[in-house]
Structure 1
Amino acid sequence: MDISVVIPLIDEAESLPELEAWIRSVMEENNFTYEIIFVDDGSSDNSWCIIQQLKSQNPFVKGIKFQRNYGKSAALNEGFKIAQGVVVITMDADLQDSPNEIPELRRMVLEDGYDIVSGWKKKRYDSTLSKNIPSKLFNAATRKVSGIKLHDFNCGLKAYKNKVVKSIEVYGEMHRYIPLLAKWSGFKKFGEKVVEHRARKYGVTKFGWNRFINGFLDLASIVFVGKFKKNPMHFFGLWGTLSFLFGFIVFIYLTVSKFFFDQTGLTQRPLFFFAIFAMIIGTQLFLAGFLGELISRNGAERNHYLIEDRIN
C-alpha cells in the first residue's frame, strides 16, 4: 500500500464527507493505493455515523472511535498502530489542510529520502493575536531546544516513513513534538514543505491558549525523558552530588572558621542553614536518581532498542 492518511478528529461531522471525497479524488488521480484512517476522539456530534457511512461507500476508509476524549496525541498513536502505508500522512479534519499536498509530500519521502516532511503554513488565516504570535514563540523555543530546523512544529499536515511512526509512542500532548520523538529514536533527515493553509469552513477551533502553556511543559518533559529515560542517575546523581558537596564544603568552612578565627556560633550564621539545605537537597536528588535507576532497570523496555538493519 502506498499511503495511509491518519486523521484525528472531534466534532467534525460537517467536514468529513467533503474531506473524504477530496482525498479519494487525489488518490485516484495519481493511481495511489491508500487507506484513510479516521480516529474519532470522543465526538459529541454524529461524526462516527458519518464515518460509518463513508466506509459503506469507500472500502478504503477505516475508523477508530474512542469511548471518550483522550486528545490528539492518543488519536494519532492509535492511527499509527494500524497504518499500513509505506508513507503515512497526517492531517486535520477541519479542511484547513489541503489533500492536494499529498503527492508532493509522498515524493519527498520516497524520492528525496526524508524520514519526516513537515508542513509549513507560511501564510495563515488565524487570528494574529490568539495563534500567530504564540505559535511563533513556541516554534522558536522548540527549534532552539531540539536543534531541528523546522518553522512549524505544530502543523498537522506531515508525512512519515512507515518505520518512523512504528518506532515512536505519542502520548499526552506530544503530537507537537513528533519530530523530536523521531530524533530521539535515531531518525535524522527532516524536510519541510510550504503548504496551503485554508480558512476554516465549518465549526470552530478546538484549541485554546492552554495548548501553548502545555506545549512548553511538554517540551521540557520530552527533552528530559529523551536524554535520561534509561539512566536517570546521570541527571539526578550529578546535581545531587554537586549540591551535597557544595553544602558540605561550606559546612566545613564554617566549622573551621568557628574554631580558629572567631567564636560566632554556627547556628547564628545564615550560611550554615544554606549549607544544611544544600546537603539535604543533594541527598534527595541522589536518592531520586537511585530510585529512578531501580525503576528503569526493572521496566519492560529496559532493553528495548531500535534496530535499523540486521544481517544473519
Structure 2
Amino acid sequence: MNISVVIPLLNEQESINELHDWIVNVMQTNRFSYEILFIDDGSTDDSWNVISKISSINPNVKGIRFLKNFGKSQALHAGFEKASGDVVITMDADLQDNPDEIPELYKLIATDGYDLVSGWKKKRYDSVLSKNLPSKLFNWAARKTSGVKLNDFNCGLKAYKLDLVKNIDVNGEMHRYIPVLAKNAGFIKITEKIVLHQARKYGETKFGMNRFIHGFLDLITIWFLSRFGKQPMHLFGALGFIMITIGFAFAIYLGIDKLFLNPTGRLITERPQFYLSLSTMIIGTQFFVAGFLGEIVLRTKQDKKRYLIKEELNLE
C-alpha cells in the first residue's frame, strides 16, 4: 500500500464526506493504493455514523471510535498503530488542510528519502491575535529549545515513513512535537514544505488559547526528556550534589565559628546560616531521590496504550 491517511477528528460531521471525496479523487488521479483511517476522538455529534456510511461504501475507509475524548495525541497514536502504508500522512478533518498536497508529500518521502515532511502554513487564515501571534512565539521557542529548524510545528498536515510512526510514542499532548520525537529517535532527515491553508468551512475550532499554555509546558517536558530522559540522575544528581555541598559548607563554617572563633556567641540554631544549611541539604537529598526514582521509572515497562476503543471499522 502506498499511503495511509490518518485523520483525527472531534465533532466534524459536516466536513467528513467532502474531505473523503477530495482525498479519494487525489488518490485515484495519481493511482495511489491507499487507506483512510478516521479516528473519532469521542465525538458527540453524528460523525461516527457518517464514517460508518462511508466505510460501508468504500472498503479503503477504516474507522476507530474512542469511548470518550482522549485527545489528539492518543488519536494519532491509535492511527499510527493501525497504519500500513509505506507513507503515512496526517491531516485535520476541518478542511483547512488541502489533500492536493498529498502527491508532493508522498514524493518527498518515497522518492527523495526524507523521514518526515512537516507542512508549513506560511499564509494562514486564522485570527491574528488568537492564533497567528501565539503560534509564531510558540514555534520560535520550539526551534530554539529543540534544535529542529521548522517554521510550523503545529501544522496537522505531515508525512512520515512507516518505520518512523511505528517507533515513536505519541502521548500526552506531544503531537505538536512529533518532529522532535522523531529526531530524538534517530530519524534526522526532516524537512518542511509550504502548504496551502484554507479558512474553516464548517463549525468552530476545538482549540482555545489554553493549547498554547499546554504547548509551552510540553516544550519544557520534551526539552528535559531529550537532554536527560535516558539518564535523569545526571541532572538531579548534579543539582543534589551542589545543594548538599552548599549545605555542608555552611555547616562546617558554623561549626568552626562556634568551636574556635566565637564560642560565647549566639547559639547555632539562632543563626540564619543554620537554616540555610539545613534547607539546602534537605533539598539536595530530595534531588537525589528524584534522580533515583527517575532511573527506576525508566527501567519499568510502561503500557503505551492510553485510550479505550469503542468501535472499529474494516480493521482486522
TM-score grouping bracket, smaller chain normalisation: over 0.9
1:174 matched residue in structure 2: 174
Q: Choose the corresponding residue for 2:294, options 292, 295, 298.
A: 292
| d(CA) in 2 for partners of 1:295, 1:131 | 37
Q: Deviations over 1:203-246 (max 9, x none)?
A: 00000011011111111112223333332222221211111111
| Structure 2 residue 29 is the aligned partner of structure 1 residue 34 | no
- Alignment: residue pair count: 301
The structure with higher relative contact order (CA 8 Å, sep 6+) is 2
Aligned AA (1:48): W
Aligned pairs for 1:113-262 (under 5 A) are 113-262=113-262
Aligned AA (2:122): K
Q: Deviations over 1:117-138 (max 9, x none)?
A: 0000011111100001111111
| d(CA) in 2 for partners of 1:234, 1:193 | 37
SS in structure 2 at match of 1:65: strand
Q: Which runs of 5+ in 2 are unaligned?
A: 304-316
2:95 matched residue in structure 1: 95
Q: Percent of counterpart pairs with the same letter?
A: 61
| d(CA) in 2 for partners of 1:299, 1:74 | 19
1:22 matched residue in structure 2: 22
User: TM-score, normalising length from structure 1?
Assistant: 0.93
Q: Which runs of 5+ in 1 are unaligned?
A: 302-312
Q: Deviations over 1:261-301 (max 9, x none)?
A: 33343223222211110100001111222233233334369
| d(CA) in 1 for partners of 2:302, 2:175 | 23
Aligned AA (1:293): E
| d(CA) in 1 for partners of 2:261, 2:11 | 75
| Structure 2 residue 269 is the aligned partner of structure 1 residue 267 | yes
Q: Choose the corresponding residue for 1:278, options 273, 277, 280.
A: 280
| d(CA) in 2 for partners of 1:14, 1:99 | 17
SS in structure 1 at match of 2:164: helix
| d(CA) in 1 for partners of 2:187, 2:83 | 19
| Structure 2 residue 44 is the aligned partner of structure 1 residue 67 | no
SS in structure 2 at match of 1:14: helix
| d(CA) in 2 for partners of 1:148, 1:295 | 27
| d(CA) in 2 for partners of 1:13, 1:295 | 41
Once the 2 structures are TM-superposed, how far is the Cα of residue 113 of structure 1 from its aligned partner? 1.5
Aligned AA (1:269): R
Once the 2 structures are TM-superposed, how far is the Cα of residue 184 of structure 1 from its aligned partner? 1.3
SS in structure 2 at match of 1:15: helix
SS in structure 2 at match of 1:6: strand
| d(CA) in 1 for partners of 2:57, 2:301 | 45
SS in structure 1 at match of 2:14: coil
| d(CA) in 1 for partners of 2:23, 2:162 | 19
Aligned AA (1:197): H
2:50 matched residue in structure 1: 50
Once the 2 structures are TM-superposed, how far is the Cα of residue 43 of structure 1 from its aligned partner? 0.5
Change in Cα spacing, 1:278 to 1:92, as seen in structure 2 (3 Å) is same
Which stretch of the first structure deviates more once superposed, 260-269 or 175-184? Answer: 260-269
CA RMSD, 1 decimal? 1.4
Aligned AA (2:296): L
1:306 matched residue in structure 2: none
User: TM-score, normalising length from structure 2?
Assistant: 0.92
Q: Deviations over 1:61-94 (max 9, x none)?
A: 0100001000000000000001011110000000
2:312 matched residue in structure 1: none
